[in-house]
Amino acid sequence: MPKINLGRKKKPRRKTESKASYQHIYQNKRWKRIRAARVRLNPLCEICESFGITRQVEEVNHIIPFMLGSDQEEVENLAFDLENTESLCKYHHKLVDNSFNI
Ligand SMILES: [Zn+2]
């Protein structure tokens, strides 16, 4: 019986690699300040809030992922830009994160 290839390939594990190589961003004091400022500005998950649900912020998301930066300067500009962040709950952060992982 011939083997049928259904075209289902395992997704590349790019995200895991990126997480490891960009870990220094999350340990940077500038990021800690930006994160704290975003939480102060938006103490609630912004997506939940748009549905009228009140849920505390759990994670701060980069709207444009900083790993898309083409060089170190662009990566840092995206990573440390308050305007490029949003307050999310864990559920919505995971949902938004996965949409960049197709
Ligand atoms: Zn939410």
Q: Please give the distance, rounded to the nearest whole angstrom, from the Cα atom of residue 101 to the centre of ligand 1.
A: 19
Q: Please give the distance, rounded to the nearest whole angstrom, from the Cα atom of residue 55 to the centre of ligand 1.
A: 6
4 in any annotated domain: no
What's the domain count of the chain? 1
- pLDDT computed for residue 1 by the predictor: 58
Q: Please give the distance, rounded to the nearest whole angstrom, from the Cα atom of residue 63 to the centre of ligand 1.
A: 14
What CA–CA distance (Å, rounded) separates 101 from 81?
A: 22
Q: What's the domain range around 62?
A: 22-100
43 in any annotated domain: yes
- The answer to whether 99 and 45 are in contact (CB under 8 A) is no
- pLDDT computed for residue 83 by the predictor: 98
6 in any annotated domain: no
- pLDDT computed for residue 9 by the predictor: 54
Q: Please give the distance, rounded to the nearest whole angstrom, from the Cα atom of residue 22 to the centre of ligand 1.
A: 25
Q: Please give the distance, rounded to the nearest whole angstrom, from the Cα atom of residue 73 to the centre of ligand 1.
A: 31
- pLDDT computed for residue 77 by the predictor: 96
Each residue's pLDDT tens digit in the chain (102 positions)?
566 655 555 544 454 445 556 888 999 999 999 999 999 999 999 999 999 999 999 999 999 999 999 999 999 999 999 999 999 999 999 999 887 765
What CA–CA distance (Å, rounded) separates 46 from 86?
A: 7
- pLDDT computed for residue 49 by the predictor: 97
